[in-house]
C-alpha cells in the first residue's frame, strides 16, 4: 500500500469520525511535510528548495512508516521549530497529525505494532487571552459598512458582520448557512459546527433586522445561481471562506482597525467576550452558544477586563481612606 493509498484511506477514516474537511486537509499537509522530511533526511537532500519540494511522497509504503523512529519524529519537530519557525501550537498540531496516522496504522489497520509517536509529548502551549474588538470598535466596524455607499453588497456585508459580532459563529459555520436553515420568523438559525454537530443559534433583534434587509435585496438579485446558500458572491454562488475574510478585512481597514490584525475569528472572540463581560451571560450558556464541547474551552472568555479590575479595586473599603499622620509634638 503506497502513501497515496494510506493517506486516502486515512482521510476517509477521519471523515467517518466526523472530522471536518478543513481538519482532514490540515492532516494531509502536515503529513506530507513530515514524509518529505524523512525522505530528505535519508537521501541527503536539503530540507528546503526545489529538490525537497519535488520529493515524491507517493513512493513511501507501509514499511517506510514502520521504520521511522521516535527520534526522527523529535528531529522533525525541532526542524519545524528552527527552520520553519513554527510556534508551539503549530508544532503540537503537526504532532497530533502524526499521532493520528500512527494510531490508524497500528490500532485500526494493524499493519504493525510499534507506534513511535505514542509516547511523544506535545510542546507546552501558552494560554493566551483572546484578542477582541471593544464595543466602540465593533460599532465603528458596523458603521464602516453602513457608510460604504459605493458598495453593491452593503446589506449582505452588514448582515455578515452583524452575525459574527452578535452570534459568535465560526467562519465555516457562517459560509455554510442555507436559506432553509433560517426559521420563517427569523428567530433562529441552524448551523453545522465542528465534527458536523448541529446547533441552533437564536437571533437577537439586530441580527433579525440585518438578515431581513439582506433577504429583501437577495430576492431581487439576478446573479443568484445557488439558491440554497444564504450568502452569495458576485457570481451568484455560495461565498467562499476567502471572500468572507476579504469582506471583513476591507471593513476593518475602512474602520481604521486594519493595523490591529483582527480577523473573522477575532469577531467570534468579540461576540463571546462582550456577551460575558457586558451582557452578564453565564459561562455555561456561552458554551452552548459557541458550540464548545468542553466548558474549559469557554472559560478563556471569563478573563476580566481592565475596567472590571479597576472597578474591583475601587470596591476595596480602604480605597478612599487616607490616614493623616500627626507630626505635631508636645512641648
Residues recognised as catalytic: 170, 194, 265, 268, 292, 301
Ranges of beta strands (E only) in the chain are: 188-192, 198-202
Angle between helices 264-277 and 154-167 (to 10 degrees): 50
- Whole-Å CA distances, 157 to 84, 152, 212: 36, 10, 13
Query: DSSP assignment, residue 151?
Result: -
Q: How many CB atoms lie within 10 A of CB 4?
A: 13
**What's the rounded Cα separation, in Å, for the pair 105 and 62?**
9
Closest residue by Cα to residue 47 from 74, 72, 84: 84
Judge contact between 193 and 241, C-beta under 8 A. Answer: no
- In angstroms and rounded to an integer, the radius of gyration of the C-alpha atoms of the chain is 26
Amino acid at each position: 500500500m503506497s502513501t497515496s493509498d494510506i493517506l486516502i484511506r486515512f482521510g476517509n477514516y477521519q471523515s467517518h469520525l466526523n472530522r471536518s474537511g478543513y481538519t482532514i486537509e490540515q492532516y494531509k499537509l502536515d503529513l506530507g511535510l513530515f514524509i518529505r522530511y524523512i525522505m530528505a533526511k535519508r537521501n541527503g537532500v536539503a530540507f528546503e528548495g526545489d529538490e525537497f519540494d519535488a520529493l515524491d511522497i507517493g513512493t513511501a509504503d507501509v514499511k517506510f512508516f514502520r521504520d521511522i523512529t521516535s527520534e526522527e519524529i523529535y528531529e522533525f519537530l525541532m526542524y519545524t521549530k528552527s527552520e520553519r519557525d513554527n510556534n508551539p501550537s503549530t508544532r503540537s498540531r503537526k504532532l497530533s497529525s502524526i499521532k493520528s496516522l500512527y494510531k490508524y496504522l497500528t490500532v485500526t489497520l494493524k499493519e504493525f505494532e510499534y507506534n513511535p509517536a505514542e509516547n511523544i509529548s506535545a510542546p507546552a502551549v501558552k494560554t493566551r487571552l483572546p484578542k477582541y474588538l471593544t464595543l466602540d470598535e465593533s460599532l465603528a466596524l458596523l458603521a464602516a459598512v453602513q457608510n460604504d455607499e459605493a458598495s453593491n453588497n452593503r446589506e449582505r456585508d452588514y448582515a455578515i458582520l452583524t452575525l459574527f459580532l452578535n452570534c459568535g459563529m465560526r467562519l465555516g459555520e457562517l459560509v455554510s448557512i442555507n436559506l432553509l436553515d433560517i426559521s420563517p420568523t427569523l428567530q433562529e438559525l441552524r448551523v453545522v459546527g465542528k465534527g458536523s454537530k448541529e446547533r441552533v443559534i437564536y437571533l437577537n433583534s439586530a441580527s433579525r433586522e440585518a438578515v431581513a434587509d439582506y433577504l429583501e435585496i437577495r430576492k431581487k438579485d439576478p446573479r443568484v445561481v445557488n439558491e440554497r446558500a444564504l450568502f452569495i458572491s458576485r457570481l451568484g454562488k455560495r461565498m467562499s471562506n476567502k471572500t468572507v475574510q476579504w469582506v471583513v478585512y476591507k471593513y476593518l481597514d475602512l474602520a481604521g482597525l486594519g493595523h490591529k490584525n483582527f480577523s473573522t475569528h477575532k469577531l467570534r472572540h468579540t461576540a463571546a467576550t462582550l456577551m460575558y463581560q457586558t451582557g452578564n451571560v453565564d459561562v455555561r450558556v456561552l458554551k452552548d452558544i459557541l458550540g464548545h464541547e468542553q466548558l474549559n474551552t469557554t472559560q478563556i472568555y471569563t478573563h476580566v477586563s481592565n475596567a472590571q479590575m479597576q472597578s474591583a479595586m475601587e470596591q476595596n473599603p480602604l480605597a478612599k481612606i487616607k490616614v493623616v499622620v500627626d507630626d505635631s509634638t508636645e512641648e
